[in-house]
Amino acid sequence: MSFSHLEFSNRLISQLPADSETDNVCRSVENAVFSWVSPTSTSQPSLINLNQTLADTLGFSAAESASEQFTNLMTGNALLDGMKPYALCYGGHQFGQWAGQLGDGRAINLAEINTAQLGYQTLQLKGAGKTPYSRRADGLAVLRSSIREYLCSEAMFNLGIPTTRALSLCLTGDQVIRDKMYDGNAQLEPCAIVCRVSPSFLRFGSIQLPASRGDEKLVKQLVEFSINNDYPHLKPKNKNFTVETYLNWFRAVCDNTSTMIVHWMRVGFVHGVMNTDNMSLIGETIDYGPYGWIDDFDLGWTPNTTDEGQKRYRFGAQFQVSQWNLFQLANAIFPLINEVEPLQATMSDYAIHYDKKWQQMMASKLGFKEYQGISDVHIFQTLETLLAEVETDMTLFYRLLATYQKDSDALNHFNSCYYQKEQLTTRYQQSLTDWLQRYQARLSFDGLSAVERQKSMNQVNPKYVLRNYLAQQAIERAEQGDYSEIEKLKTLFTKPYDEQPELSVYAQKRPDWARDKVGCSMLSCSS
Ligand code: AMP
Ligand code: MG
């Protein structure tokens, strides 16, 4: 098997400074963006799921992706000529505190390839062994967290949300001890590797780290690299970067970030660990850890038990956190700008632009032709109050809203989306009926037919989301050696907006047994 058609571009390693030390030992890495490091070989690699569609679009032939060599590549047991693996150096604010140097502690980048269909894409193995950034950890990833990343990133992609992607899910044959809930119940777990794919794995923290060390030269190199490679439309024609070029880049990062967060709010995705080392410079959802999906609409919910006390990264705080994170990025690039005012103006615009995108998004969820001004905001806010007042399944509610017809019995229509029927007081019923009347009046203003409205709403309100318990069921089966549920969910989530009636059991609300179950509503950072 040749793979000889792959065109390795490797722009990052050829344009940015490498760590001069090559021993794979933990250390502080300065004046460098990455360290050379090879993946650790594994005892018995096996491919348990392949993202055939992505493999095809990246240019791997069916024979190549079915080959033993492909499995070896996807588990770090083989390299192709042209692959020069490395780990990135970055820092970050974790839960609001500056954590200093972090870096790819268990992610190893294999290569950047230039593909006909997707342009430049870097292939990265997550869980491929220790790197100079592993600190006190082992560089490995367990099967459960790998399944969660593998399924969720592709579900997000098919929901139309910017995200890193996942090409393959492999077992390594090795095992590692993990204390899943940090409660003293450590267990041996199977190790796995996901091959992630993205045009860029640079994070806010990639720029923050050199900035924190006063290394302005590296900050400048990184920002210019990001402009040249990921925001080429901002590249100055005469190659002379100016303050305005850097500001335009920062505005573009803000723009991509707000777009991403609005999508998260649209589908009920809670990232769970929005540390600045987990914020992509190209505005992709990255680092799927203790993320979760909203079942009952609750702006205060976070799946991450490590964040239980503060709930810093709760559903309803994601915009504010993204803003806080962008402030940190603004501070990091300050030496390139040297003026507070334009950065402050960009941050004020961030809130304004976010609001605009959120309003458009909510209008589309409700089936309005366009956002019509402040009276619409009142409709959105009253609805969110209603959804939160009694436990209401967010995903089911919006799909049912699309088929709601004037004057039909509200409780009967929305019956299947309530978790606690005893909460449905007369007062609540009256509020819902009032809201629906107001909604109907607003709809008649647009004059769309019922069919048109339903069609447009079902394009933005998914029928299927990767409810936490669905991923957990796939994990439990896989831990028994049955990988069929992974395949089934992967296929289901290729069309999350389609009815797929034969699979509608996957659209049901969270079953009662999953309400407080570990893995379903409670997840830790252990992975
Ligand atoms: P995360 O919270 O997953 O974004 O991880 C924060 C930092 O810890 C990153 O630098 C990761 O690379 C590192 N890290 C997480 N898990 C491991 C592990 N098992 N081995 C080495 N480094 C890890
Ligand atoms: Mg991370």
Return the pLDDT at 1: 59
203 lines ligand 1 (CB under 6 A): no
What is the position in ligand 1's atom list of the atom closest to the CA of 277? 4
Return the pLDDT at 516: 86
> What's the CA-to-centroid distance between 206 and ligand 2, angstroms?
12
287 lines ligand 1 (CB under 6 A): yes
Confidence check: pLDDT of 257 > 90: yes
Instruction: Give the residue among 287, 277, 50, 58 at the shortest CA–CA distance from 163.
Output: 287
In the chain, % of residues over pLDDT 90: 95
64 lines ligand 1 (CB under 6 A): no
What is the pLDDT of the chain when averaged over all its residues?
97
| Residue 477: pLDDT band with limits 50, 70, 90 | very high
pLDDT tens for each residue of 75-127: 999 999 999 999 999 999 999 999 999 999 999 999 999 999 999 999 999 99
- The 8-class DSSP code of residue 114 comes to E
> What's the CA-to-centroid distance between 205 and ligand 1, angstroms?
14
149 lines ligand 1 (CB under 6 A): no
Return the pLDDT at 261: 99
3-state secondary structure 184-243: CCEEEEEEEEEEEEECCCCEHHHHHHHHHCCCHHHHHHHHHHHHHHHCHHHCCCCCCCCH
What is the position in ligand 1's atom list of the atom closest to the CA of 131? 21
| Residue 521: pLDDT band with limits 50, 70, 90 | confident
Establish whether 230 is a catalytic residue. no
Return the pLDDT at 510: 96
Helix axes 216-230, 318-337, angle to 10 degrees: 110
Distance between CA 210 and CA 200 in Å, rounded?
A: 18
Confidence check: pLDDT of 413 > 90: yes
Distance between CA 499 and CA 47 in Å, rounded?
A: 30
102 lines ligand 1 (CB under 6 A): yes
284 lines ligand 1 (CB under 6 A): no
Q: Is 416 in contact with 509 (CB distance < 8 Å)?
A: yes
> What's the CA-to-centroid distance between 145 and ligand 2, angstroms?
13
pLDDT tens for each residue of 134-173: 999 999 999 999 999 999 999 999 999 999 999 999 999 9
Q: Which of 104, 277, 287, 298 is catalytic?
A: 277
> What's the CA-to-centroid distance between 474 and ligand 1, angstroms?
24
Confidence check: pLDDT of 277 > 80: yes
| Residue 458: pLDDT band with limits 50, 70, 90 | very high
Long-range CB pairs of 174-178 (<8 Å, 24+ gap) are 174/42, 174/43, 174/44, 174/140, 176/138, 176/140, 176/142, 178/142, 178/526, 178/527
Predicted TM-score (pTM) of this structure: 0.98
| Residue 398: pLDDT band with limits 50, 70, 90 | very high
- Chain center to CA of 493: 15
What is the position in ligand 1's atom list of the atom closest to the CA of 104? 12
What is the position in ligand 1's atom list of the atom closest to the CA of 287? 4
**One-letter amino acid of 20:** S
pLDDT tens for each residue of 201-210: 999 999 999 9
278 lines ligand 1 (CB under 6 A): yes
> What's the CA-to-centroid distance between 94 and ligand 2, angstroms?
10
140 lines ligand 1 (CB under 6 A): yes
Going through 235-336 in order, the beta strands assigned E by DSSP cover 269-270, 292-293
> What's the CA-to-centroid distance between 283 and ligand 1, angstroms?
20
Return the pLDDT at 483: 98
| Residue 519: pLDDT band with limits 50, 70, 90 | confident
Token code pair at residue 498 = 């389609």
Ligand 1 pocket test, pick from 28, 106, 275 with the greatest ligand atom count within 8 Å of Cβ, gives 106
